[in-house]
Structure 1
Amino acid sequence: MEPYNLTGTLEFILLGLSEDPELQLILFALFLLIYLLTMLGNVLIILAISCDSHLHSPMYFFLYNLSLSDMGFSSTTIPKMLINLHAHKRSTTYAECLTQVSFFILFGCMDSFLLAVMAYDRWVAICHPLHYQVILNPCRCRYLVVMSFCISLIDSQVHCFMVSQLTFCTNIEIPHFFCDVPELVKLACSNTTINDIAMFLSSIIVGFLPASGIFYSYYKITSSIFRVPSLLGKYKAFSTCGSHLSVVCLFYGTGIGVYLSSTVSGSSRESMVASVMYTMVVPMMNPFIYSLRNRDIKKALWKIVCKIT
């Protein structure tokens, strides 16, 4: 097949999770439920933090932005997949694919950086409690969030631009349920060396560096907690990190699962199943983890329920 430089007229074919019409109906209902729960859970977290003055602290400010990022992350992939499942349509235009790539990387990177910032917040709160309000003042908190957004935006636009420079053969079938950079690079007919280098550097910047920051923060937190003499004091210190640590393990665990399933096994099916966990289940679980493990969030949510009823 002749290479074809995309100009917006060629369409990609998303093979999706299944071609069975009956299974597609089940998947549609399942993913619609996941999406609604994700939106509901994160909206409740945002409302609770916005309405309760006791939650106007750095920790909840970062959680507020993480909920916004999770909503954007889910909205990048699930609605398009629901439309395709409902209409039994698998094609997507070039412009739609590039837009999805851009927003997927943007919100995925935002999640990674915000989790690192939240680990830094817990480190300051436990290891430097007397200087907490000074170190994490409102100006610095906004700066950390804005910097996370700017780095994520630059990374997403670089990948989007580099994908737009690739040439493809006609009738492109993507063995996935959304447009992802690695899958597009594999299908390109042109030289992809620069794209491979860019993906490697990006994985270091948005994956390894935040993960290293989280690991270092929890190393310092653990060292500080073990110096606490009372058992009750140790429990209280660990309990403040429990929700965040659960989300970190879920986010990076599924992300590593996607990487391993695509590189070790080479199976597109296993990679897609791992991607479902990464792109859908994790954003849905985050608000439930924080609301169930956080007494202040539960109190704020209960106040909202009482006002409504």
Structure 2
Amino acid sequence: MTSLSPIGGHVSVTGGLAKGGLRYAADIGAEMIQVFVTNPRGWALAAGTPAQDAELLASGMLSFVHAPYLVNMGSPTPETLEKSVATVRHNLLRGHAIGAKGVVIHTGSAVSQSRDAALRQLHEHLLPLLEEIPDDGPDLLLEPMAGQGGMLCATVQDLEPYLAALDWHPKAGVCLDTCHAFSAGHDLSTSEGVKETLDALHAVAPGRLKLIHANDSKDTLASRKDRHENIGAGHIGAAPFAEMLRHPAVAGVPFCIETPGGAEKHREDVDTLKKLRDT
């Protein structure tokens, strides 16, 4: 029997990582959660609260961590690179403390340097962080972007040189964002496009898909714009998510919404995905 994908979302941790996060998860009917363990838009590294960490760990809730948006391991700016390394290391340590299965990072941009130089930089600075992860620690999940600017990774095919730069390390996994993939040119609005995209991902990185960010898109195919929409309210539509949930490469892979709105909208999105999964 095919393993069912847990469905949940990125949750608010207002009131505490465990107290706020688990409360929000209950409000939206989440079977898994994704959290920030530090300010997503800054470099300050929050130490966390051991009691909250222990409570979240004891809850048994399947969890993932999303690293701050400023992280760019491909940056040519030494200060940004140094802070990115420190931030990823910190998020991996915090993820281990709460029992997270993965820490998501955006795959970054070469900015003003060449793609080859940026990939060499990944080998020099990101690969050592992968080596530091203990066997029972979280995977580092690479999230391709929508294709803006000098992004190192947008299509699933872009993952091949990226993973090669990391020596195909076993702790390097993939987080596929459906809005990003659609905006980068993968037509996830059709059953054929869903199959083609997931088949290609499995061919490039078999067994490495560990998380799906389930987001509809406010913008059209290949727009290169990163604007998420609620499930079924955008240009992807609801039905293709059922196709994704049935694809063999996605068996058991958690689906995490990062959609607009508060708890009511998030509950609707989680419910929609559960119905598509369970029918």
TM range (shorter): under 0.3
In the superposition, the TM-score normalised over structure 1's length comes to 0.26
Question: Which of the two has greater strand per residue?
Answer: 2
Give the structure with higher Rg (CA). 1
